[in-house]
Structure 1
């Protein structure tokens, strides 16, 4: 049986608090509005920051819709789970935050609780295509997210079998 991580539980609870339960409800503007986060398209690289009592996420407008969704997930992690100005942090701490934001992005953009409700085809390429289309993410992103999900599932099955 699949056991959620703390991050997967956090994301599922976040979506529940926003009354979002289905992939077709995944919308960065709706989510930002419900979280009281300003969201804007920008000519610059995507970034998040806090100013005058409110969080803002700026998304690079040159990205396509899939890349914007993915960047939104990355930047949202900084808003929800990080504090401080990265320009004033030691490089290794900044690197840690970026790794955390990337990991969050994969789980936020393709939430485990939604992924588990989908009947994934046995054919790997078809499963990747289905994830990419269902969650509006790039194919490479869908491949990596599927790999993360399957790797964890296999690890948990092996652990359960060896610890009976």
Structure 2
């Protein structure tokens, strides 16, 4: 469907998530669960009939996961709150809206990277058609169809951006090579030599013709 990962560029956050999983030897989709990841990171997780949230008490962190949600939704909520535990600090109730919005955006991006990690994704043979690919990832990584689609859409955008960046780089390099003296024709080289001689005699200065008195 598209050249997956050929021009894909990872972000610093995605690299951070990949390094985290490598550190804790999380290498397969089967290890991506609330219980396994919470045990690895030593975070207490509990469920209640209330919105999911991360709680800090005297330096100890816990995460409540809304038990009214489906298992896939609970896993996604856990990852969102896990980002707050690992990367953020402070009480959002007392924060400026702009900072709260940044934390939420960061947590949403973390959720995508952590739910469908790049290293695991690269090992899979994906279906050709997008809807089949989304359904396959939803089952393989036990995430909602919505999140699987968001991850694929994200990858497509990143691949497209990578292609555009590559083409622009090729274009700028080709333009620069036109001004490389080693690429000049004999006629161009002769003209440039004449201009250099005139400039050394004071006939040319800063691109302007001066009269010799």
Sort the TM-score into its range (normalised by shorter chain).
over 0.9
Counterpart in the other structure of 1:104: 110
> Of residues 135, 145, 153 in structure 1, which corresponds to 2:159?
153
> Of residues 6, 10, 28 in structure 2, which corresponds to 1:4?
10
Shift of 1:17: 1.2
Query: TM-score, normalised on structure 1?
Result: 0.95
- Secondary structure at 1:83 match in 2: coil
Give CA-to-partner distance per residue, 1:2-59, whole Å, 9 cap, x none. Answer: 3321111111111111111111111111111111111111111000021133110100
Counterpart in the other structure of 2:78: 72
| Off by >6 Å, runs of 4+ in structure 1 | none
| Mapped partners of 1:94, 1:5: distance in 2 | 21
| Mapped partners of 1:99, 1:158: distance in 2 | 25
Larger radius of gyration: 2
RMSD: 1.1
| Mapped partners of 2:67, 2:23: distance in 1 | 28
Contact map agreement 2:8 2:155 (CA 8 A) in 1: no
Counterpart in the other structure of 2:44: 38
- Secondary structure at 1:133 match in 2: helix
Question: Can you give the 5+ residue segments of structure 2 that lack an aligned partner in the other structure?
Answer: 1-6, 171-213
| Mapped partners of 2:125, 2:13: distance in 1 | 23
| Mapped partners of 2:152, 2:45: distance in 1 | 28
Counterpart in the other structure of 2:127: 121
Query: TM-score, normalised on structure 2?
Result: 0.74
- Secondary structure at 1:162 match in 2: helix
- Secondary structure at 1:137 match in 2: coil
Counterpart in the other structure of 1:48: 54
